[in-house]
C-alpha cells in the first residue's frame, strides 16, 4: 500500500520509510508559527524549558490579531512577543508597519513551501497545504516545545480524497468550492483527517483559490488540507521559497478513508448561514431578501490581491448601499500597496468603503467592525459561530468576495448577476 501526500511528508520528517494512519510519530519541523494571541502563553511555557530556540530562522512571530494595538491588553500582548523576538534573535518577527495577516504573509514571503512541515498556534495554519506542504494548528505547550526542540509529535491522520472535476465558472471562487465541500460533509466530516485535493479540476484553481480552500480545511474538522504540486504551484513558489524544497505526490495505490467528488462546472455562488460554515445555501435559492448591515472583505481566507481585484471590479462605478458599512482589509502590506497601485483602493473609497491596515481585526471579534445585537454581516472570513464577530445576537454569513461586494452594493445578500 502506497502513501498519500501528507503521509509522505510526515514519514520523511520522522526519518521513516513509511507511516500509517493512527501511528504516533515525532517529526522535525521546518517552521513554527505564533501570533500576538497565542505566542505569549507559549513563551511562558517555553521559558520553563530553560533553553534557547532551536533555530532563529525557523520561527515566525506575527502580531496580527489585535494589532496595531487596540487597547492596553493587546499592547501588552504585542510587547511580550516583541521582547521575546529581540531576546531570542528571531529573524522572522513582523512588527506593525511590516506585518500582515500571518497566513497571508508566510506563503507570500516564501517561508512555507512544498514538502515542508509547519505547526502554528493558530487553527488556520492549515492554509499552507495550498503550496503542497503539511501544516496544522497546535496548542500552547506543543508550540513551546516546538520552539525549543524543533520537533513535534503527530498521530498520522486518515485521508479523505477530494476529487475536483469540470471547469470552474467565472463567477465561482475557491470560497464557493470549500463552502460547498463543508456543506456536503459537515463541520466534523473530516475530523482529524487530511483533506487531499486532486483531479483534473485542480488545474482550474488559482493559488488564491487553493489558499482559501486549504485555509478552511479546519472548518470541516480537518487536521490539514493539501494540494498537489503542479505548474501553478511551481510558478508561485519558484523564486519565492528560499533554499531547496521537496514536492510530494500521492502514490497510485495510496489509501483513502473516503472519496468526495465535486464538479466545479456545477457550482453556484453560495453563502454559509449562521451559525456554522456548513450551513450553506446557493445565493440563487434564497427566497426572501436578507437585508444586511455590514460587509467585511479580507482575512486570512480572502484578503489576497485576487480577492480585492474581484471585489474592485464589482464596485467600479457603484456605491455601497446607504444602510451598509463595508470594511476592506488587505492581507499584507504588499497587497495593500499593489491594491493602491492598481487603483483598487481608490475604487473602494469612491464606493464608500473603509480601507483598513492589514489585520485580522473583526474576523474573531477583535476590532475594526464589531457587530451589535441584531446586526447581520456578510463576511469573507472563515467562521460564523454565534458571537464570533461581536454580540451573540448578531449574525455572520460567509461568502466569497464576489458575493460580499454585490451584497454591499444591494444592501442584501446577492450575487453580481443581480446588479
Cell of 36: 500576538
Q: How far apart are CA 368 and CA 66, in angstroms?
A: 10
Specify whether 278 is located in the same domain as 218: no
* 106 three-state secondary structure: helix
Non-local CB neighbours of 2 within 8 Å, separated by 6+ positions: 250, 251, 252, 253, 254, 255
Specify whether 192 is located in the same domain as 219: yes
Specify whether 142 is located in the same domain as 232: yes
Identify which of 387, 184, 211, 377 has the alpha carbon closest to the alpha carbon of residue 278: 184
Dump pLDDT digits (tens) for 123-135.
999 999 999 999 9
Specify whether 255 is located in the same domain as 277: no
Specify whether 237 is located in the same domain as 287: no
* Least confident residue range of 292-296, 302-306, 367-371: 367-371
Specify whether 241 is located in the same domain as 351: no
User: Last residue of a domain, which of 206, 237, 263?
Assistant: 263
Tell me the average pLDDT of the chain: 95
- What's the CATH code of the domain at 369? 3.30.499.10
Number of H helices, E strands in the chain: 13, 18
Dump pLDDT digits (tens) for 289-302.
999 999 999 999 99
Specify whether 239 is located in the same domain as 292: no
State mean pLDDT over 234-242: 94
pTM for this model (two decimals): 0.95
Specify whether 292 is located in the same domain as 164: no
Dump pLDDT digits (tens) for 47-95.
999 999 999 999 999 998 998 889 999 999 999 999 999 999 999 999 8
Specify whether 241 is located in the same domain as 319: no
**Parent domain of 40:** 5-263
What percent of the chain has pLDDT above 90? 93
Specify whether 149 is located in the same domain as 249: yes
- Say if residue 363's pLDDT is above 90: no
Q: How confident is the model at residue 95, as a pLDDT?
A: 86
Dump pLDDT digits (tens) for 332-354.
999 999 999 999 999 999 999 99
User: Last residue of a domain, which of 220, 235, 263?
Assistant: 263
State mean pLDDT over 235-259: 94
End-to-end CA distance of the chain: 52
Domain count, the chain: 2
Specify whether 254 is located in the same domain as 286: no
- Say if residue 99's pLDDT is above 90: no
User: Last residue of a domain, which of 208, 230, 263?
Assistant: 263
Peptide bond into 337 cis (omega under 30): no
Amino acid at each position: 500500500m502506497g502513501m498519500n501526500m501528507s503521509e509522505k511528508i510526515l514519514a520523511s520528517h520522522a526519518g521513516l520509510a513509511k507511516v500509517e494512519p493512527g501511528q504516533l510519530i515525532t517529526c522535525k519541523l521546518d517552521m513554527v508559527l505564533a501570533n500576538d494571541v497565542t505566542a505569549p502563553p507559549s513563551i511562558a511555557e517555553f521559558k520553563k524549558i530553560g533553553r534557547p530556540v532551536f533555530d532563529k530562522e525557523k520561527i515566525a512571530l506575527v502580531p496580527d490579531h489585535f494589532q496595531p494595538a487596540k487597547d492596553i491588553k493587546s499592547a501588552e500582548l504585542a510587547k511580550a512577543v516583541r521582547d521575546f523576538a529581540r531576546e531570542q534573535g528571531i529573524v522572522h518577527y513582523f512588527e506593525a508597519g511590516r506585518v500582515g495577516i500571518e497566513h497571508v504573509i508566510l506563503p507570500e514571503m516564501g517561508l512555507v513551501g512544498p514538502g515542508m512541515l509547519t505547526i502554528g498556534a493558530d487553527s488556520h495554519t492549515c492554509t499552507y497545504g495550498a503550496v503542497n506542504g503539511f501544516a496544522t494548528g497546535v496548542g500552547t505547550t506543543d508550540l513551546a516545545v516546538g520552539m525549543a526542540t524543533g520537533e513535534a509529535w503527530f498521530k498520522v491522520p486518515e485521508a479523505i480524497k477530494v476529487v475536483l472535476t469540470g471547469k470552474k465558472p467565472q463567477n465561482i471562487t475557491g470560497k464557493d468550492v470549500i463552502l460547498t465541500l463543508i456543506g456536503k460533509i459537515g463541520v466534523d466530516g473530516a475530523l482529524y483527517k487530511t483533506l487531499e485535493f486532486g483531479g483534473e479540476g485542480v488545474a482550474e484553481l488559482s493559488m488564491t483559490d487553493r489558499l482559501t480552500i486549504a485555509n478552511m480545511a479546519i472548518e470541516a474538522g480537518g487536521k490539514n488540507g493539501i494540494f498537489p504540486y503542479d505548474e501553478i504551484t511551481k510558478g508561485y513558489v519558484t523564486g519565492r521559497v528560499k533554499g531547496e524544497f521537496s514536492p510530494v505526490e500521492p502514490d497510485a495505490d495510496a489509501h483513502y478513508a473516503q472519496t468526495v467528488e465535486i464538479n466545479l462546472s456545477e457550482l453556484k455562488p453560495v453563502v454559509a448561514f449562521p451559525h456554522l460554515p456548513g450551513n450553506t445555501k446557493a445565493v440563487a435559492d434564497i427566497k426572501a431578501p436578507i437585508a444586511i448591515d455590514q460587509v467585511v472583505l479580507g482575512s486570512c481566507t480572502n484578503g489576497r490581491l485576487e480577492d480585492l481585484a474581484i471585489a474592485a471590479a464589482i464596485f467600479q462605478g457603484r456605491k455601497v448601499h446607504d444602510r451598509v458599512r463595508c470594511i476592506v482589509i488587505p492581507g499584507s502590506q504588499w497587497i495593500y500597496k499593489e491594491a493602491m497601485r492598481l487603483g483598487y483602493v481608490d475604487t473602494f473609497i469612491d464606493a464608500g468603503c473603509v480601507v483598513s491596515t492589514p489585520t485580522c481585526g473583526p474576523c474573531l471579534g477583535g476590532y475594526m467592525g464589531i457587530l451589535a445585537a441584531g446586526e447581520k454581516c456578510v463576511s469573507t472570513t472563515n467562521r460564523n459561530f454565534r458571537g464570533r464577530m461581536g454580540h451573540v445576537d448578531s449574525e455572520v454569513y460567509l461568502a466569497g468576495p464576489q458575493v460580499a461586494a454585490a451584497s454591499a452594493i444591494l444592501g442584501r445578500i446577492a450575487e453580481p448577476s443581480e446588479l
